[in-house]
Amino acid sequence: MSAEKKLIVALDVDNPGRAEELVDILAPEVEIFKVGIAPFTDFGETILSKIKSLGKKVFLDLKFHDIPNTVKNAARAAAKKGVFMMNFHCLGGQAMLEAAVEGVKEAGVKERPILLGVTILTSMGEKDMMAIGLGGNLKEKVVDLANLAYKAGLNGVVASPEEARVIKEKIGKDFIVVTPGVRPEWAQAGDQKRVRTPQKAIAEGADYIVVGRPIIHAKDPLEAAKRIKEEI
């Protein structure tokens, strides 16, 4: 897979005009754009249409987590929007994840989206896990949740670069790993705790890397994207 196809740019901005501008600027170098809960809630349909109008792909990052029937309906609706990827919190349980898979099947779309389970957010460390009653080895928890996603029929997971290699080893090389928490050496980590550089994330087994602030807040976003692709 080429560097262009491995890079996902997170459009984490609060202005629809700026979001569209970034898509135009980055389109020559970027194939996939992530639309998260804040921009989707604010101007979702507008930005999805913009991305698709340029022949680009959407990672719909809404992290669905609800009762199985509700998630099934949400997955069906999202699939009908023609997105390339979408995700669901593994902590919702196997029945919820299986319902998501069923919802996408019911959508009847020609090309089914890649379905990802969200393991443990990259902003969380072991102390954060203890605080919500999920103590123990964080990496083991991530692998357990990845296994749950696999059993439910999902195509892969969202996990930090620190866990990518062990997920591939335990589940298989074809099980997709998408890694946020990726920061080039020239960028700040921000609120991310479990981070790697783009080059190290790919070396650890990531199939796709998600990069937001180092690109969208750069003085020259296109040049920043090019630099990250070179690192990949």
pLDDT digits (tens, 9 = 90+) for 81-104: 999 999 999 999 999 999 999 999
Q: Which residues are catalytic?
A: 63
Decide which of 47 and 134 is more confident. 47
CA proximity to 97, closest of 107, 110, 86:
86
Domain that holds residue 190: 3-231
User: For position 181, what pLDDT does the model report?
Assistant: 73
Question: pLDDT higher for 2 or 175?
Answer: 175
What percent of the chain shows pLDDT beyond 70? 94
- Residue 181's domain is classified under what CATH number? 3.20.20.70
Q: Which residue is listed with tokens 């984490």?
A: 12
- pLDDT band (50, 70, 90) for residue 188: low
Average pLDDT, stretch 23-47? Answer: 96
Q: What are phi and psi of 12, to 5 degrees?
A: -85, 70
At residue 174, does pLDDT exceed 60?
A: yes
Determine what percent of the chain is predicted with pLDDT higher than 90.
Answer: 76
Q: Under DSSP, is residue 177 helix (H, G, I), strand (E, B) or coil? A: strand
Q: How far is it, in rounded angstroms, from Cα 169 to Cα 149?
A: 15
Average pLDDT, the chain: 92
- At 187 the pLDDT is 56
Rg from Cα positions in the chain: 17
Residue 191: per-residue pLDDT: 47
The pLDDT assigned to 199 comes to 87
Please, are residues 161 and 206 in contact by the beta-carbon 8 Å criterion?
Answer: yes
Count of domains observed in the chain: 1
pLDDT at 134: 84
For residue 66, pLDDT over 50 is answered with yes
Residue 48 has pLDDT above 90, yes or no: yes
Residue 26 has a pLDDT of 98
SS3 of residue 66 by DSSP: coil
Q: Would you place residue 194 in the very low, low, confident or very high pLDDT band (cuts 50, 70, 90)?
A: very low
108-161 tens-digit pLDDT: 999 999 999 999 887 888 889 889 888 788 889 999 999 999 999 999 999 988
Predicted structure pTM score: 0.91
pLDDT at 58: 98
Tokens of 154: 């999902």
Q: Helices (DSSP H) in 80-210: which residue ranges?
A: 94-107, 126-131, 138-152, 161-171, 198-203
